[in-house]
């Protein structure tokens, strides 16, 4: 019986010790309140630093809720896709030979003025006075008018208002000579001109870049100035600019192990200034991000402010008649990103207009951990009680033996 009591008391002590050593971590999370407005079918929300700071780094924990608390499918858009035509380059060609062989008709063309560089062409444009025809053409290319290589087959036609006199290459070609082969030419088709064209669509993505002026503190230590910046966790950084009226030329290092020499100099009424460090989308993983200025033997410079530019994202979704939406974030750091059908037709959605909704308010539901002093007091009380009970039991046992 005594052994059971002692075992129970020891178990109680271990439980209390475990609780004191590692109090359970409680959830931290936040919600963003978004007011609905506008007549656009699709809506977008620009995410702000407070959301990045508390959400998962990959934004997998974001959940959008409608007015009834139901999930709203969405996708993340990080920039605008632009398309525009490249400058058009034209290389006129000259007919150098035409003949008939084995029942087929041949037309050989050469670039009229061959430049001292490769001729990169994406299509070949023809003109003709003939009409009422449709011809299958086999196109070959050559660099020397001796060795010919097959390029591709195509169809040219001019039937009423329907005309196709351009051959679009399946891949960029660099030949200086081209040969057309027609299986028959009963219509006696001839071409007035042939021109190689280089033209293509340039695709460029413009990322969303936002600015902020974060809170920061300055610490001087061993000839170094540490600038501790708040609120950059999980941000994809573009650049940080230091504002200072001091005249200086100092090396500035970063938490990423990279650095740069910054300066703010004035000589003979001419200013030379570069106080910006670029980060190329590097992500800050810590709550406090630090810059380190090497002062050498000079006095620390006066830092009046910081400007941080970062890459932002839009959360895009199909709107409904809800008066407001709620974006939940930071509640679960183990959750996977949802997979919604809307992601499959994002390009079609982004090709149209979306209504921008503003974040009205952000609330945090931070649950503080119980203070260590309280656990310490409970632990001490349990230890004292266990010690007293064990002592009493030992005395009782000794008296019985006496």
Cα–Cα dist 324/38, whole Å: 12
What's residue 400's pLDDT? 60
pLDDT in tens, 193-235: 999 999 887 777 788 999 999 999 999 998 999 999 999 999 9
In the numeric block, which tokens belong to residue 280? 């190329």
pTM above 0.95, yes or no: no
* Residue 179 · residue 124 · CB < 8 Å: no
Domain-by-domain residue ranges, the chain? 2-24+369-401, 30-78+313-364, 89-199, 209-312
∠ CA 262-267-272, rounded to 5°? 30
**Quick check: 278 and 335 in contact, CB under 8 A?**
no
Tens digit of each residue's pLDDT (9 = 90 or more) over 353-375: 999 999 999 998 755 444 545 55
At residue 17, the pLDDT reads: 47
pLDDT at 2: 52
* Common-topology check for domains 89-199 and 209-312: yes
Q: Which CATH number fits domain 209-312: 2.60.120, 3.30.160, 2.120.10, 1.20.58?
A: 2.60.120
pLDDT given at position 59: 94
Confidence at residue 87, expressed as pLDDT on a 0 to 100 scale: 85
Flag whether pLDDT at 287 surpasses 50.
yes
Domain made up of 89-199: CATH architecture:
Sandwich (2.60)
Q: Check residue 359 and give its pLDDT.
A: 95
What pLDDT score does 50 carry?
95
How many C-beta atoms surround the C-beta of residue 247 within 10 A? 12
């Amino acid at each position: 019986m005594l052994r059971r009591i002692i075992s129970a008391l020891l178990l109680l002590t271990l439980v209390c010790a475990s609780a004191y050593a590692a109090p359970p971590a409680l959830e931290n999370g936040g919600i963003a309140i978004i007011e609905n407005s506008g007549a656009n079918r699709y809506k977008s929300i620009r995410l702000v630093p407070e959301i990045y700071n508390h959400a998962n780094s990959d934004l997998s924990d974001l959940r959008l809720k409608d007015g009834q608390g139901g999930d709203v499918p969405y996708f993340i858009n990080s920039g605008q896709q632009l398309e525009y035509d490249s400058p058009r380059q034209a290389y006129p060609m000259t007919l150098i030979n035409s003949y008939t062989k084995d029942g087929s008709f041949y037309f050989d063309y050469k670039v009229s003025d061959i430049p001292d560089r490769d001729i990169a062409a994406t299509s070949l444009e023809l003109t003709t006075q003939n009409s009422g025809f449709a011809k299958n053409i086999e196109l070959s290319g050559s660099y020397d008018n001796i060795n010919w290589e097959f390029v591709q087959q195509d169809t040219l036609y001019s039937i009423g208002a329907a005309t196709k006199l351009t051959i679009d290459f399946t891949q960029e070609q660099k030949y200086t000579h081209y040969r057309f082969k027609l299986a028959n030419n009963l219509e006696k088709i001839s071409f007035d001109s042939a021109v190689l064209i280089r033209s293509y669509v340039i695709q460029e993505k413009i990322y969303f870049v936002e600015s902020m002026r974060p809170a920061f503190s300055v610490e001087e230590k061993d000839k170094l100035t540490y600038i501790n910046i708040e609120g950059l966790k999980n941000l994809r950084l573009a650049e940080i600019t230091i504002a200072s009226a001091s005249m200086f030329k100092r090396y500035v290092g970063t938490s990423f192990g990279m650095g740069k020499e910054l300066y703010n100099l004035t000589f003979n009424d001419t200013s030379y200034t570069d106080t910006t460090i670029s980060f190329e989308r590097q992500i800050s993983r810590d709550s406090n991000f630090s810059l380190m200025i090497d002062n050498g033997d000079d006095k620390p410079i006066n830092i009046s402010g910081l400007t941080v530019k970062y890459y932002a994202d839009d959360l895009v979704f199909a709107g409904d008649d809800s008066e407001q939406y709620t974006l939940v974030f930071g509640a679960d750091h183990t959750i996977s990103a949802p997979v919604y059908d809307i992601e499959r037709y994002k390009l079609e959605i982004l090709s149209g207009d979306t209504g921008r909704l503003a974040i009205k308010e952000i609330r945090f539901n931070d649950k503080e951990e119980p203070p260590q002093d309280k656990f310490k007091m409970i632990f001490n009380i349990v230890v004292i009680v266990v010690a007293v009970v064990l002592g009493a039991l030992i005395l009782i046992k000794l008296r019985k033996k006496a």
